[in-house]
Structure 1
């Protein structure tokens, strides 16, 4: 069976994206530990989902990324809280995105995933990048996806491509896709703060909650 590497945090986006390819690929999920506050909960969610779906799962530690990061995701700085009314305010969302930005995170993650893809003969790398977050996170954008795939064409001897099935979707549409492909979304964890119960007030939680509410779940 064809093989795929999934950059997998146990969150909503990557869970749905990976399930899109579940029937056609042998999935090898990778979870990164870069000192994020939510790592314990992300690991728990990732393990539950991978066990349920029959995917292999591996954790990669990146302590150096934590050491150089000034992000509130992996420092003592408080994670910003937002209201649903502010989600579509590009200025406020950009400010929040800057606060939680981890230096070159998706570039690092995807490059490591490419190494794994070459080593096991995987044809695709699955990511949960989506249009809603791509508005404020440049490493979630269509442009970033296109350029990285061009880089792989130049820099890898293998025919590997990044697949981002939600790249043109907002969160509501992503949840609808999750329903369509039978993704175990209720097992996923998206909170930045890493508490046992999702905080409900960080940007990730608020975007997730709004999407499910709009879909009627």
Structure 2
């Protein structure tokens, strides 16, 4: 398969290789010539994220680039980019507002989506792309404000004013929870089996971090077969 589809419209995708960004990118795969970018910001799971993103792009015929942001891991004290212990929850605690907000604060990377989306905007302008694809969703927005609809609308307002070319951020999962994202992924034939959602860097998902638990629950609730290999 060609590494770069020849379609009329172009898109830049912010692709971590996770469930959300994989489904969001796949939503546009038939209509856009997509250049996916994956960020290396010193996160624990960087090798697995890059590997997953590369495999997804190879399967779907997208151009893929990795952008290193080594300085980002030096800001804050996120458990994703440091030796701090990852917060652990049970499946029954995933909807506990107080516990999940505490968990989110421990893995928060300062300004991460602002930085990623700003860089994607530069790529979009330079490559004459029409849209930027992101995996922001309703479930993540409960504890991560940079996944919210308000954040999406505000960023779109900013780039409308601040760019020479009309570029729009598209987040097809912005009103969806994880269960609905899995269902959308099935509908658009996203390569869910290639995606990687774990906070750790293993060949298999750890099965116990919050990201793994949300992934597990989504497949269980959607009643769609989970292709993920978990250590636990």
| Common fold: TM-score over 0.5 | yes
Cα distance in 2 between the residues matched to 1:82 and 1:29: 32
The Cα RMSD (Å) is 0.6
- The alpha-carbon deviation at position 82 of structure 1 amounts to 1.1
**Partner of residue 185 from structure 2, selected from 167, 178, 182:** 178
- The alpha-carbon deviation at position 106 of structure 1 amounts to 0.2
Q: Do residues 102 (structure 1) and 109 (structure 2) align?
A: yes
Q: Do residues 34 (structure 1) and 31 (structure 2) align?
A: no
How many pairs align?
217
Structural mapping, 1:18-33, within 5 Å? 18-33=25-40
Spell out, residue by residue over 1:6-51, the C-alpha distance to the aligned partner (whole angstroms, 9 max, x if none).
Answer: 0001111000000110111001000000000000000110111000
Structure 2 unaligned residues grouped into runs of 5+: 1-7, 226-232
- The alpha-carbon deviation at position 203 of structure 1 amounts to 0.8
**Partner of residue 111 from structure 1, selected from 87, 93, 118:** 118
Secondary structure of the 1:77 match is coil
Structure 1 unaligned residues grouped into runs of 5+: none
Structural mapping, 1:36-185, within 5 Å? 36-185=43-192
Cα distance in 2 between the residues matched to 1:182 and 1:130: 19
Cα distance in 2 between the residues matched to 1:54 and 1:78: 37
Cα distance in 1 between the residues matched to 2:164 and 2:49: 33
Spell out, residue by residue over 1:53-84, the C-alpha distance to the aligned partner (whole angstroms, 9 max, x if none).
Answer: 00000000001101223100010011111111
Q: TM-score, normalised by structure 2?
A: 0.92
Secondary structure of the 2:85 match is coil
- The alpha-carbon deviation at position 190 of structure 1 amounts to 0.3
Cα distance in 1 between the residues matched to 2:85 and 2:48: 18
Cα distance in 2 between the residues matched to 1:139 and 1:9: 15
Secondary structure of the 2:24 match is helix
**Residue in 2 aligned with 1:211?**
218
Cα distance in 2 between the residues matched to 1:5 and 1:69: 28
Cα distance in 1 between the residues matched to 2:38 and 2:222: 28
